[in-house]
Amino acid sequence: MHTNHLHTFSILYEDDSILVVNKPAGLMVEPDRNGHPNLLQQVKRYLKNSLKEEVYAQHIHRLDRPVSGIVLFAKQRAVLKNLSEQFAERKVKKYYQALTAKAPALKNGTLEHWHRKEKKKAMLFETQEAYTEKAQLDYEVSKDGDLFLWNIQLHTGKYHQIRAQLASVGCPIHGDSLYGSQEQYYENAIALDAFELIFNHPLTNAELRMTSNNLLKYKS
């Protein structure tokens, strides 16, 4: 197992209204009842130190704790509605990379399921069942050393969606024991990275493209 000592975020973009950060795997996005370190707390501490005034920070979306990658924050209440609506209306483009030990039958394609959260796991169905919602992603897979690298465009942001959908085709994400992976990745981490986020600036409407490449730093 590789130990991941990186527990603080790095800044990809910042202006007066938004902050875009790269979250390390193993760090929660928001506080939980157990008081684990979390990204929201760290961002607020950073803003307080840099602004020396009342700070506002709110994440617009979440990543699972073991997942690394890009998280967008509003620094002003005034832009929260605009950013939230871009996500709700699927105007935001979300791209992920994942590593798996196995390859799917098709090297590229679309995965579609009906999705339901049950306890702390995602359940997938081929047909619509009670309380399910459509889950969809597009993917391309290429060989990467001993592993397979997935480039994924996520169309619906359901609970554990990518993790469950890849496992459903016999390709659990490297280190994701919850969904059947036998391999170890970094401690408290799986080989899934939210590596690109494309959205419009809430004030100028200019397209912003943010990228990270956390998986590329990993060598098995």
Answer yes or no: is 176 within a domain: yes
Confidence of residue 4 (pLDDT cuts 50, 70, 90): very low
pTM for the full model? 0.92
The predicted structure's pLDDT at residue 57:
95
Give the model confidence (pLDDT) of 24-57 as tens digits. Answer: 999 999 988 887 889 999 999 999 887 767 789 9
pLDDT averaged over the chain? 92
Give the model confidence (pLDDT) of 85-127 as tens digits. Answer: 999 999 999 999 999 999 999 999 999 999 999 989 999 999 9
**What is the residue range of 48's domain?**
10-217
Answer yes or no: is 2 within a domain: no
Number of domains in the chain: 1
β partners of residue 100: 148, 173
Answer yes or no: is 5 within a domain: no
Rounded Cα–Cα distance for residues 205 and 124 (Å): 36
CA distances from 108 to 3, 70, 125, 142, 162 (A): 32, 24, 21, 9, 15
Query: Can you give the CATH number for the domain in which 29 is found?
Result: 3.30.2350.10
CA-closest candidate to residue 217, choices 182, 181, 191? 191
